[in-house]
Amino acid sequence: MSEENIKLLKKAGLKITEPRLTILSLMQQNQNKEEVTHFSAEDIYKMLLEKGEEIGLATVYRVLNQFDEANILIRHNFEGNKSVFELAPEEHHDHIICVDCGKVFEFNDEVIEKRQKEISAERGIKLKTHSLYLYGKCNNIDTCDENNK
Amino acid sequence: MSEENIKLLKKAGLKITEPRLTILSLMQQNQNKEEVTHFSAEDIYKMLLEKGEEIGLATVYRVLNQFDEANILIRHNFEGNKSVFELAPEEHHDHIICVDCGKVFEFNDEVIEKRQKEISAERGIKLKTHSLYLYGKCNNIDTCDENNK
DNA sequence: CTGACTGCAAACTGTTTGCAGTAAG
DNA sequence: CTTACTGCAAACAGTTTGCAGTCAG
């Protein structure tokens, strides 16, 4: 699997370095595992520390920015001040964020996607990207149940 | 009109002070005038300075936060790091932001609103709010024409 | 009067940058 | 070799907070 990551970095014109490979595989690990898949720079930095990796916070930021530009991952600005990142998915999706427990759900809706294009076109705007975040309270039993009564 | 603003503040449990009235009317002035209606704290602070008002930046932030909590205005996190504020509109609307000139367009679409509710309901999530931002290139002749060729 | 409010400066958080050393190609 | 990359510390931007004085109710 590391082979593919090396290809990814090369395609982005980036040298193959340990921090980049480490961060990349770290984000891939939690994929497809019902795990959290959205991380802040700080999150990633801490995970690296726990693994005993010697990677500076500045490097984490630099790598994340490079990955963002190379479309290897996507930057989100949920409510709050900091950016969170997720691996660029095969297919676009939008997000539902639980305001109580912070859990992130994903969805993709054809109807909404279509309307967005129509609305932009009507106004003569060339749609580049969009961000749609729904904020609500989920029914996570552990953390959110009280709030749903 | 100041009468109504006083009512607004009272309803929010806030004392009637000059900074609050000034900031409130400042944001109202540019409304319904094809003018920019989305301001950062810094924007507002500068406009106040230009008017010769003696209001500290910290106060601007405090007032904006109080107004946000009182639903007098709405905070947005467009791309980038800072918050921008607009007066809470009568009817909800979403935004299109031009990535070249920064102009903000507003729209409201029943189809999208409806789908959002359905999607949340399907997942057992109580939808509180949402943010939908479309980013694209507008056809503003002054600043954006080159980019649309 | 009294607590809410204000301005100022200092503190904080998230992020970027300058620099000198290190390593990939 | 040469240039991109890294870690560190310092710098930054946006925002919040502690404090002493002021003002609305």
Q: How far apart are CA A132 and CA A94, in angstroms?
A: 6
Distances (CA, A) of B20 to A136, B24, B40, B75, B82: 31, 6, 16, 17, 21
pLDDT given at position A32: 65
Q: How far apart are CA B67 and CA B39, in angstroms?
A: 14
The pLDDT tens digits for B88-126 are: 999 999 999 999 888 899 999 999 999 999 999 999 999
Q: How far apart are CA B49 and CA B42, in angstroms?
A: 10
The CB-based long-range contact list for B60-63 (8 Å cut-off, 24+ gap) reads: B60/B19, B60/B23, B63/B19, B63/B20, B63/B23
pLDDT given at position A148: 42
Q: Are the Cβ atoms of A119 and B109 closer than 8 angstroms?
A: yes
pLDDT given at position B32: 65
Split at pLDDT 50, 70, 90, the class of B149 is very low
Q: Are the Cβ atoms of A123 and B138 closer than 8 angstroms?
A: yes
Domains identified in chain A and CATH numbers: 1-90 (1.10.10.10), 91-149 (3.30.1490.190)
pLDDT given at position B1: 55
Widest CA span of chain B, in angstroms?
53
Closest CA to B39 of B74, B4, B14: B74
- Burial (CB < 10 A; 0-12, 13-18, 19+), residue A38, is buried
Distance from CA of A52 to the nearest CA of B (A): 31
A147 pLDDT higher than 50: no
pLDDT given at position B148: 42
Distance from CA of A61 to the nearest CA of B (A): 15
B2 pLDDT higher than 90: no
Structure tokens of A23? 């961060």
The pLDDT tens digits for B38-91 are: 999 999 999 999 999 999 999 999 999 999 999 999 999 998 889 999 999 999
The pLDDT tens digits for A47-80 are: 999 999 999 999 999 999 999 999 999 999 998 8
Strand partners, A137: B126
Q: Inter-axis angle of helices B57-69 and B41-50, to 10 degrees? A: 130
